Amino acid sequence: MLIHFGKVFLYLFPVYLVGYLGLSISWVLFALMLWMWWKRNRTSKLARFAAAVDFLDNERHVITEGLKELNMPAWVHFPDVEKADWLNQILDQAWPYFGIFMEKVFRNSIEPAVRASNIHLKTFTFTKIHFGEKPLKIKGVKACTKGLDKRQVILDLQISYVADCEINVEIKKICKAGVKGMQLHGTLRVILEPLIGQSPLVGGVTFFFIRRPLLEINWTGLTNLLDVPGLNDMSDGAILDIISSYMVLPNRYCVPLIDQVQLAQMRFPLPSGVVRVHLIEAEDLVPKDTYMMGMVKGKSDPYANLRVGTQSNRSKTIKENLNPKWNEVYEFVVHEAPGQDLELEMFDEDPDKDDFLGSLVIELGEVMKDRVVDEWFPLSDIERGKVHLKLEWLSLLMDLDRLVENNHNLSCAILVVYLDSAYNLPRNHFEYSNNEYGMKKNKNPKYLKSKKSNGEPSAHVEFSIDKELQKSKVSRSTKDPVWEESFTFFIKNVHSQCLTIKIKDDDKKCALGVLSIPLKRLLTAAEMTMDQRFQLEHAGPSSMIKMKAMLRVLAMKEPDPDSVYTGLNALKKGPLNLIAASQGGSDPYVRIYLFPERSWSSRKKTTVKKRSVNPLFDEKFEYSVPLEEAQRRKLDIAVKHNKSFTSHERKELGKISVDNVIFRFEYSVPLEEAQRRKLDIAVKHNKSFTSHERKELGKVLVDLSQHDLIQGFTQWSRYGHLEKMTDLVAVWEVALSDGVHKIEFEHGTTSGKRVAYVDGKEALRRDWMFKLVGKETFSVGGTETKATINIDAVSGFAYEYTLEINGKSLKKYMENRSKTSSTWVINLDGVDCRIVLEKDTMDIWCNGKKMETAGEFVDDGTETHFTIGDHDCYIKAVSSGKRREGIIHSLIVDETEIPEAAE
């Protein structure tokens, strides 16, 4: 009875209060409307939670009933995604212990952190932490291995968390709030790399969501207000923004498992590429603007939203047009392909709420393969409508010959900046010495010293190129801040644009240091990369910022020659631009016979591709035939249209016969023995035993000891482990900053084996390769320099092996290196020291180790000091006074000048 009276009083008291204060009745109606809106929204949310929980508990029954309604055949399945029942069973068993672990984290870590963040939160307490009985579910697992680096494995986990969790908090026994139930759905990518040959077999693990997950939270207590429409979207969106800042591309959560793995390389790898999107036009859109209570159909004011990951762009609005033309171009950085998608949503712009006109999702992994896609795409989730897009995949290259500036205001390059940390920042601008930057601000009362001036700065970094500005997070209360963030900029003119860096105090709103880097300096840097500490201007004498800047040319690569297949493997790519057998296109498939046999059992046939003139089959067929018999066979390949029996449409779209067979004969002989052999080659006529026809048509005798069997390699006996390399074909010596490295390459022309050694250690191995030509790429030295060995067939059965370093031939690379570096060789304390100066970055290496340096200005130039053991060394840079010679660098060790060595 008392509870009932309390409820009635609670309902009637606001009405009495409005009348007592003489307010309008509209306040009561507004409050009633708001309460009904909140009640409806909350009821809808609880219904969605109930439906999700019911689906989780009765998944098999719900799916079975749904399939019955769709009348789908029993063989329908999705082969690229596998169920992970065993993994869900493990999660189910371990979930209570996960809850115990998370409760300790909340009480021992999160609760003290919240209390320390604000004086008003000192009584913040978790009164209840319960993660429920329903564990996280993994709805499917997709393993990605094709077309990836051989040292990594990628897993896409489709996670679904419909939680019956309950987490309550309390402040001062009055303010109570909490969460009772939540939903989280998304695709979590797990990357295991690099794969190593020692325990634990994986060097590190990286987690991230490919796109923003779906989140819905059921609030309790005072946080019930967050279920009010409008606030609900804001609260869930704010939490999603926090998740995105840590675990949605381009952000990653990385766990290194061995010491040799660098966390920065795991968290901020170079992007896969850039997709350039030409939004050209749309046709046959749905009219959403109506007149006279919907009786008269009008048109629409369409615009498009395009999104890749966290990057988004909006097109201009075309007024009153169902066939709009935009002709706009957008560029997006793609961090994971395959994986990321281009999402397009089209809307009709209205004063109140924009109407939906359709959507489209394009997998960018397919665009990366095709390089250029120019098509009309039908819009989804709408009655009709289509959009014309042209997609171009741009690769990140280090080839300056592909740099094209001022290309119709399109980007010609991309700049990737990895911000690491800063050192010895001034507490404020009053600590600047001998500069006018701080003196100008001294006159302003805003910058006068206060009691807080002696505190450590809370610094953030601003990067800007022209009008584009990007900011880092704030590192609180330290003069040695660490940020560890990555930024990307599209570059239109490398020679004229400049990267400006400002470090600012977030509390005092003053600059703590500035730096300006012309982008053209990166063109002459090694690998177009500058990775060093930079001296800050308008800061303390020892104030520095550590970062890595990488410039890459944006260009469209030609298709990989290795992906252009011939013979049977041509079915992987399929024919292009087939004849359209009907107005709707063709339904092509490929039929294969191995003549002279034409039986139904020997017939091979691909699947049928519906309504396509550019089909992709990706199928493989094999015939088991003895070699002698294969010489008498002919391969008959036809592309046909899958027409009905009564149709008069064209059946055959194309045909080809293959009867020219090339045979390769090989002898597996050790290299030392091959030099003592002779090769006898004869061309003969296959006559019968009783025939008097001519038998021998020609003959040649090749003395192998008189020929250079391995082009460019003659000094075989000097390498100690040659006896282990029976297929050694080439050796190169490459001078890099961290030393001179010897590269040896084995090529088994029988098995296709390819093994590369760097300084005697195996860097790459492929024990069996079907193709005897191609290329192999691996890293050399501590600088992880990219090396590529090209294997090309020349006349006869010989092969040519060439080495490329960073995409350039070895000769061209060494010529370029002689301009960008200087080398000295000196014996100190009985040890030969090879000292290398990188002129563009002023980095100094000694026997493969990067030296700590300190720069100093002198009257006639600069001096860069460093020490080797007990020896004082410095490199002096002075101007030659001649334009061609430029700056001359000299090495002085213990006041003695060392002559430069030639490499």
Q: Could you report how far apart the first and last alpha carbons of the chain are, in Å? A: 99
Average pLDDT (263-290) is: 86
Instruction: Flag whether 674 is in a domain.
Output: no
Nearest to 642 by CA among 662, 669, 615, 618: 615
Predicted pLDDT at 612: 74
Q: How sure is the predictor about 315, in pLDDT bands with cuts at 50, 70 and 90?
A: very high
Query: Are residues 622 and 491 part of one domain?
Result: no
Contact 315, 304 (CB under 8 A): yes
Query: Are residues 149 and 49 part of one domain?
Result: no
> Does residue 36 register a pLDDT over 70?
yes
d(CA 581, CA 653) in angstroms, rounded, equals 8
Average pLDDT (23-42) is: 73
Predicted pLDDT at 146: 67
Average pLDDT (328-343) is: 89
**Number of domains composing the chain:** 7
Write the DSSP assignment of 559-609 as a string of letters.
PPGGG---GGGGGGT--SS---SBTTB--EEEEEEEET---GGG-EE-PPP
> Does residue 286 register a pLDDT over 80?
yes
> Which comes out higher in pLDDT, residue 403 or 605?
403
Contact 644, 650 (CB under 8 A): no
Q: Edge to edge, what strands does the sheet with 498-505 contain?
A: 468-471, 459-465, 498-505, 510-518
Q: Edge to edge, what strands does the sheet with 634-641 contain?
A: 604-605, 588-595, 634-641, 652-658
Query: Are residues 616 and 513 part of one domain?
Result: no
> Which comes out higher in pLDDT, residue 716 or 531?
531
Instruction: Flag whether 251 is in a domain.
Output: yes
Instruction: Flag whether 135 is in a domain.
Output: yes
d(CA 343, CA 389) in angstroms, rounded, equals 12
Q: How sure is the predictor about 26, in pLDDT bands with cuts at 50, 70 and 90?
A: confident
Query: Are residues 837 and 785 part of one domain?
Result: no
Q: How sure is the predictor about 698, in pLDDT bands with cuts at 50, 70 and 90?
A: low
Predicted pLDDT at 567: 33
> Does residue 750 register a pLDDT over 90?
no
Query: Are residues 165 and 309 part of one domain?
Result: no
Instruction: Flag whether 349 is in a domain.
Output: yes
> Does residue 552 register a pLDDT over 80?
yes
Q: How sure is the predictor about 706, in pLDDT bands with cuts at 50, 70 and 90?
A: low
Percent of the chain with pLDDT over 90: 16
Domain of 867, in residue numbers? 819-898
Instruction: Flag whether 712 is in a domain.
Output: no
d(CA 544, CA 556) in angstroms, rounded, equals 38
Q: Which of 23-37, 435-449, 810-824 has the highest mean pLDDT?
A: 810-824
Query: Are residues 359 and 486 part of one domain?
Result: no
Last residue of a domain, one of 747, 782, 806: 806
> Does residue 687 register a pLDDT over 80?
no
Percent of the chain with pLDDT over 70: 72
d(CA 634, CA 658) in angstroms, rounded, equals 6
Average pLDDT (734-762) is: 82
Helix and strand counts by DSSP (H, E) for the chain: 12, 48
Instruction: Flag whether 576 is in a domain.
Output: no
Query: Are residues 250 and 304 part of one domain?
Result: no
pLDDT digits (tens, 9 = 90+) for 431-465: 654 444 444 444 444 444 444 445 788 899 999 99
Query: Are residues 103 and 46 part of one domain?
Result: no
Last residue of a domain, one of 806, 836, 866: 806
Average pLDDT (744-748) is: 84
pLDDT digits (tens, 9 = 90+) for 564-597: 333 323 333 444 566 666 666 778 888 887 776 6
For residue 657, give both structure tokens. Answer: 């016969």
Instruction: Flag whether 119 is in a domain.
Output: yes
Q: Which regions of 284-431 does DSSP assign to beta strands (E)?
A: 290-291, 296-297, 302-308, 311-314, 325-334, 341-348, 355-363, 372-378, 386-397, 413-423
Last residue of a domain, one of 783, 806, 829: 806
Q: How sure is the predictor about 553, in pLDDT bands with cuts at 50, 70 and 90?
A: very high
Instruction: Flag whether 12 is in a domain.
Output: no
CATH number of residue 282's parent domain: 2.60.40.150
Predicted pLDDT at 448: 43
Query: Are residues 544 and 654 part of one domain?
Result: no
Query: Are residues 289 and 255 part of one domain?
Result: no
Predicted pLDDT at 517: 93
d(CA 288, CA 704) in angstroms, rounded, equals 82
Query: Are residues 883 and 796 part of one domain?
Result: no
Q: How sure is the predictor about 718, in pLDDT bands with cuts at 50, 70 and 90?
A: very low
Average pLDDT of the chain is 77
Query: Are residues 380 and 298 part of one domain?
Result: yes
Backbone angles phi, psi at 387, to 5 degrees: -130, 140
